[in-house]
Amino acid sequence: MLTECSASEIHRRILAREVSCEEVVQAHLERIDAGNPKLNAFLCRTPDLALETARAVDARVAQGKELGPLAGVPVAIKDNISVPGAEVTCGSRILKGYRPIYGATVYERMLAAGLPCLGKTNMDEFAMGSSTEHSAFGATSNPWDLERVPGGSSGGSAAAVAAGLAPVALGSDTGGSVRQPAALCGIVGLKPTYGAVSRYGLVAFASSLDQIGPFGRTVEDCARLFDVIRGRDPKDSTSVDYPGRPGGADLSKDLTGLRVGVPEEMLGEGIDAQTRAAVQGAVRQLEKLGAKVGTAHLPHLKYSIATYYVIACAEASSNLARYDGIRYGLRTENAPDLSGLFENTRGEGFNPEVKRRIILGTYVLSSGYYDAYYLRAQKVRTLIRRDFLQAHADFDVLAGPVSPTSAFRKGEKSENPLEMYLADICTLSANLAGIPGLSMPCGFSNTGLPIGLQLLGRPFAESQLFNVAHCLERELGVASRRPAP
């Protein structure tokens, strides 16, 4: 079945004229129709856009023209990334009905490379969550167990790839929102180095932390999609001319002599025993492949959650001030005056989790508290970054868990926000430091749920992460396991 093929295999078959891109797109649109009602991974489909791109790819194949590394492979896009004419809701009532007239840079690059867009995927509202339960349009289910969460906030994209609704997908990662759902859904996900991928057209949550990243069923698929979207964009002043090697350049390079550090702070209290065992087993495989393994230290990691939620909420408070009922999106019908218009629109449009973070962010930025909270958090952020720089002076790659546990049940953490925040304890430090992080499946729990391994690298060393992950993927042999249809 076409929907069970990897992205690389689909691309090869299209080039060999064994199948047309239009047939590939149609197969995935039918798979979405059949599977999405139980998963709620897609908020909307874009069949016309997808088929238009597919026919253009087929025409180029027929003419014998050169094609990009993933041309013809359909992609799903998280609903906080702009696609022209397609609704962008960010999983929120406050943006219901908003249709941008421009496309995000990553979308334009995929379009130019011949990747058809299947549709927009579900997410925690404004990317604030770790379970994709905080969506105004219903929760997404994990394909491995429909009673469990797929992770968040990019849970729709991860679930779509894991279930075969899309070969590859895009998400955004502010504190783990690509890596954690990739781990919980048993696929590969990358949070690139800050600045490696343009954020133009990404609806902002926390601008100094947000990064768009790829999902794939295999490391190679993820690497190829990263190569399509990476690089400088004049429309995003934080993006750079990518100084690293292409993601797919060194996939099969020998790992002999690679220095792997295991941060002891990531395997301590709170990490589930099955998760710890799976991660340690993967590290042992790296040793068998020739890597030298040692213990790394990140002494300020314990402050990362507090630091992250001060900085992220402060930036969210500023970024989300634009949703006021005046310019676009929801406008309340209950507006006695201008102040009431602002208050009631935001009160009706935002969910409790978004309101919680806006209130917290506004507080830490307020007069009398700025130095005590926001300024101090930025200083601790510098210390966390220095910890990683020191660790990477001794080790090429750091390895640890992605999530403390495998996928938890829906509603299990909904009544305790702090417990939900702890789901990101292993991931958000990479966003604070601006370094790349990759999640890949490394085993399964006793109940058959995927467990993810996280690999953290030096800035712009994505190719090395893909290399390590690709070699380990072949040894572990878990990437071929897929959830039941």
3-state secondary structure of 19: coil
- Decide if 172 is catalytic: no
Please state the φ and ψ torsions of residue 172, each to the nearest 5 degrees: -130, 150
d(CA 13, CA 267): 42
Distance between CA atoms of residues 188 and 145, nearest Å: 18
Active-site hit among 6, 8, 20, 78: 78
CA gyration radius for the chain?
A: 21
Name residue, tokens 């929907």.
3
Cα-based distances in Å from 85 to 44, 101, 102, 126: 12, 6, 8, 20
- Note if 153 is an active site residue: yes
The span from the CA of 70 to the CA of 91, in Å, is 28
154, two tokens: 């990019």
Q: CA–CA separation, 321 vs 160, rounded Å? A: 31
Residue 78 designated active-site: yes
Cα torsion at 226, 227, 230, 231 (round to 10°)? 170
Q: Distance between CA 270 and CA 106 in Å, rounded?
A: 37
What sections of 237-303 are H helices per DSSP? 273-288
The catalytic residue among 20, 141, 177, 198 is 177
Catalytic residues: 78, 153, 177
